[in-house]
Structure 1
Amino acid sequence: MLRLVLAEDSVLLRAGLVELLSRVGHEVVAAVGDAEELARAVDEHRPDVVITDVRMPPDFHDEGLRAALALRSRHEGLPVLVLSQYVATAYATQLFSGGSSAEGGLGYLLKDRVGEVSEFLDALDRVANGQTVIDPEVVRVLLLQQTADKPLQRLTPREREVLARMAEGLNNQSIAQRLTITEASVVKHSSNIFMKLDLDPTEGNRRVLAVLAHLRGENPVP
């Protein structure tokens, strides 16, 4: 069971998420509608995970995202799952460039993913366990933005598929299951990717952050 603080300005979606999370055995210790209430609730309840919308009152810009980053600075290693209505790679970039991204679980999902209940709950569990989770649609857009990147063009179609799953935060075993190939094949493809893109062959969150940094055209994290 996870103790959760939920921040979502839509009353209907907030109630639906509370119902869903409670039904699977989690405890929503606070469900709030704006970023200020979110900060107070986290300071009071010290939850296992925070789930927050990106856009919150009063301006409906990125208040929820900024609150999440501030809370992670104040509560080191606090797992946060951010929900977004639209594919906004700028929000994803801001979230995963927040300085403490390599420590503690961190996720960025589209709200449509909530309708895929098993995927949403799996993402929540992974974030709670310290992993990084990126919505597949966000990864797809990042990859499309890099079509002119020559190092990326060196990858085979299968290597690009493996790279995309890496960016989503999946480990080798999960990638193998998703692509219906052996784990040994994933390791081989991963080695080729690391060599062709000059990435550090690490595992876990640091691997995800390195891949994302490459897709954003930045220097990979050290």
Structure 2
Amino acid sequence: MPIRIVLAEDQYLVREGLSRLLDTRDELEVAAACGDVDSLLDAVEAERPDVVVTDIRMPPGGTDEGIQAAIRLRETHPEVGVVVLSQYAVPGYALALLEGGSERRAYLLKERVTDIAQIVAAVEAVAEGGSMLDPKVVDALVAESARAEGSPLNELTPRERDVLREMAEGKNNAAIAEALVLTERSVEKVIHSIFLKLGLGWETAVHKRVKAVVLYLAESS
């Protein structure tokens, strides 16, 4: 069965283009396309989708409606995954999205829309209960945190930093191993070392691991 999606984007041409792009994939099905947050919430009630893909700013306020919708859906439809698309690589927005939990949540920059594989990866991740954070947001968090005097991040080896970035993006051990050309056992050892140096509790669930790392980076920056 394809992953059923409700799409929300206030700009008509962008909405139509993204809808058609998603519909080119057999594993995805766009059940509804909306132009504002109220229509989005109504469509979720009517269509019962697996995933919502939403712009961060929509009518009526044009501020952070996408994130507010995600927070509301956490309460009303916790089984629905949400991918927020934003043109802002601002850690604060991503943290607001993850505040109530990182499970079934993803934050991607709009520039990724041209790469269908990235969008599909995010949709599949949240549909399966995972999470994903845009690499540019992760890089911004790591850079800010590393500048802090006495930051434990400065104790990490280059390999540990590479794994930290991959982990914060929402990748599991197998995906990290593939990306960095390592064995899964090596990745596990590196992650243990990272969590030890950063003083974080060990987490096996990927979405909890993402939240732990991202909150650490935010508090350290």
Residue in 1 that maps onto 2:112: 113
1:155 paired with 2:156, answer yes
Q: Write the mapping of 1:25-174 to structure 2, written as runs, cut at 5 A.
A: 25=26, 26-97=28-99, 99=100, 101-103=101-103, 105-147=104-146, 148=148, 150-174=151-175
Structure 1's consecutive aligned runs of 4 or more residues displaced over 3 angstroms after TM superposition are: none
TM-score when normalising by structure 1: 0.93
- Displacement of 1:102: 4.7
Given that 1:200 and 1:207 are in contact with CA atoms closer than 8 Å, whether structure 2 keeps it comes out as no
- Displacement of 1:59: 2.6
Give, in whole Å, the separation in 2 of the partners of 1:38 and 1:48.
13
Count residues in correspondence: 215
- Displacement of 1:7: 0.3
Code of the aligned partner of 1:205? H
Given that 1:34 and 1:64 are in contact with CA atoms closer than 8 Å, whether structure 2 keeps it comes out as no
Identity rate, percent: 47
Comparing 132-141 with 69-78, which one deviates more in the overlay?
A: 69-78
Per-residue deviation, residues 148-195 of structure 1 (Å, max 9, x unmatched) = 152111111110110111100001111111112222221111111011
Give, in whole Å, the separation in 1 of the partners of 2:164 and 2:189.
12
Give, in whole Å, the separation in 2 of the partners of 1:102 and 1:152.
22
The root-mean-square deviation of aligned C-alpha atoms, in Å, is: 1.3
Structure 2 residue matching 1:142: 3-state secondary structure: helix
Structure 2 residue matching 1:61: 3-state secondary structure: coil
Residue in 2 that maps onto 1:189: 190
Give, in whole Å, the separation in 2 of the partners of 1:109 and 1:150.
27
Which 5+ residue runs of structure 2 have no aligned equivalent?
none
Given that 1:9 and 1:32 are in contact with CA atoms closer than 8 Å, whether structure 2 keeps it comes out as yes
- Displacement of 1:60: 1.3
Code of the aligned partner of 1:157? P
Given that 1:65 and 1:82 are in contact with CA atoms closer than 8 Å, whether structure 2 keeps it comes out as yes
Give, in whole Å, the separation in 2 of the partners of 1:178 and 1:122.
14
Structure 1 residue matching 2:219: 3-state secondary structure: coil
Structure 2 residue matching 1:56: 3-state secondary structure: coil
Higher relative contact order (CA 8 A, sep 6+): 2
- Displacement of 1:45: 1.2
Code of the aligned partner of 1:82? V
Given that 2:22 and 2:116 are in contact with CA atoms closer than 8 Å, whether structure 1 keeps it comes out as no
Residue in 2 that maps onto 1:11: 12
- Displacement of 1:2: 1.1
Give, in whole Å, the separation in 2 of the partners of 1:142 and 1:37.
33
